[in-house]
Amino acid sequence: MSSSENSQLKISKLLIANRGEIALRIMRSAKEMGIKTVAVFSEADRNALHVRYADEAIFIGPAASNQSYLVGEKIIQACKDTRADAIHPGYGFLSENAGFAQQVADAGLILVGPSPKAMQIMGNKLSAKAAALKYNIPMVPGTEEAITDVAEAKRRAIEVGFPILIKAAAGGGGKGMRIVDGVNDFEEQMQLAVSEATSAFGDGAVFIERYVTSPRHIEIQVLGDEHGNIVHLFERECSVQRRHQKVVEEAPSSVLTPEIREKMGKCAVDVARSVNYTGAGTVEFILDENLDFFFLEMNTRLQVEHPVTELITGIDLVKEQIKIASGEPLSFNQEDLKINGHAVELRVYAEDPNNNFLPDIGTLQTYKTPKGNGVRVDDGFEQGMEIPIYYDPMIAKLITFGKDREEAIQRMIRAIDEYDITGIETTLGFGKFVMQHQAFRSGDFDTHFVGKYFNVESLKNYDETEALIAALVGAKLLKNKNSIEKFDSAVAKTSDWRKNRIKY
């Protein structure tokens, strides 16, 4: 059932088809609206916070997501068993699955999200481009259709001009993506891209774009209702990435002029209008060194980084999603929306930045979150819990807000220092490295930030701390009090890259 079939659809009970921090975040807004909440959980999440927080909880299967969170039939059955009216998919899992969206509609349930048709069109980068071209949205030069013939693809690549980017038409997250600097490497890289896309998405279709050498990743938040109203809520800068996936986000961008912001916002609204979009969505753009922007894709769901938009606009995006799904018109227009202050988000992952950001697992031996003015933590863990191996390794989102960018950054540095996590590696130290780096502070950075600046030299102090930890262990074994006191003094003078792991 879509909300267009009825002008008002009362949602009294909402099932959240997700887990962790996003499930909790959605539940909190729903409860503030007087809506009952239902959690679903796998074997690995029996004791998870979202399960305990919800009004009801339904077990849906083994830990592996393809046997639990990704099984649409189980989600819909859980709705029927609990008599839930609607499903909020969060992000990830089934959130951009057009087939699942259709299943929800066929079951007579409300999906807090766009129509299956809009999801299907925007879920494929080529059909998304075709829809956006109706409104003359700027595009990176390249092909407008999938290419499978290697010889033809090579010819088109030469026409576009190297370096070029081979991209999977389906999916995201950097999978099925290859940068090719010259014609001699093209065939091998295309075959690798097709193979990876087939493996990851079941679809080997790829296309070609000119590679922008110094790109910034800028995205625009949009909201559309069932009454034809669509607005944008300004931009988010998402250029600090590892493996083509975001780690640090902020709003607004430090480089957009009011004129460019207005143009990008209008383009984002037009992209949404091209598919009669309803709900919350994000239109992603690439920005080159000349501040020219080009359409990348549209994400038909709530984004991980939505809190920074909420902080600078004062709009609860989850509540707006639920109202839209209920058939309500937007209660504000574009002229009502203003940027107030600045917000920065760090994704706190259970990853080891010193080892190519490889995921880490273990027990949160210590887990204490920062507090104070302008600090928000969206998380789904508490002290003593295990980080499971089955899902995304994100522990939390740390968000800070200030009257301007400088205050938001300084608050982030303070909050990172206060965040106390032991038992696993995290990206907290990396986050502080970013916040203190001149390129980030000046706003002069792009998506190559990690590759350019985060290297062995940047971890020099980290290595010194490792040596000091070894010295501490030796001192403890010898019960040498003087050595321990010297260690304490030395740690105070070195990087706090691993300060939150030093417990004795």
Burial class (CB in 10 A: 0-12, 13-18, 19+), 333: exposed
CA distance 143 to 130: 11
Per the DSSP assignment, residues forming a β-bridge with 287 are: 216, 293
Q: What is the 3-state secondary structure (H, E, C) of 105-163?
A: HHCCCEECCCCHHHHHHHCEHHHHHHHHHCCCCCECCECCCCECCHHHHHHHHHHHCCC
CA distance 155 to 177: 19
Burial class (CB in 10 A: 0-12, 13-18, 19+), 208: buried
CA distance 490 to 9: 63
Amino acid, res. 295: F
- Reply yes or no: is the peptide bond before residue 252 cis, omega within 30 of 0: yes
In the numeric block, which tokens belong to residue 455? Answer: 């290297």
- The closest alpha carbon to 65, from 396, 394, 389, 424, belongs to 389
Per the DSSP assignment, residues forming a β-bridge with 504 are: none
- The closest alpha carbon to 486, from 496, 495, 476, belongs to 476
Per the DSSP assignment, residues forming a β-bridge with 282 are: 221, 299
Contact residues for 93 (Cβ-Cβ < 8 A; gap 6+): 17, 18, 65, 69, 70
CA distance 438 to 454: 12
Cite the active site residues: 301
Contact 114, 104 (CB under 8 A): no
Query: Could you identify the residue written with the tokens 């209660």?
Result: 331
- Reply yes or no: is the peptide bond before residue 138 cis, omega within 30 of 0: no
Residue 47: strand, helix, or coil: coil
- The closest alpha carbon to 13, from 99, 101, 81, belongs to 81
- The closest alpha carbon to 267, from 237, 295, 241, belongs to 295
Q: How big is the chain, counted in residues?
A: 504
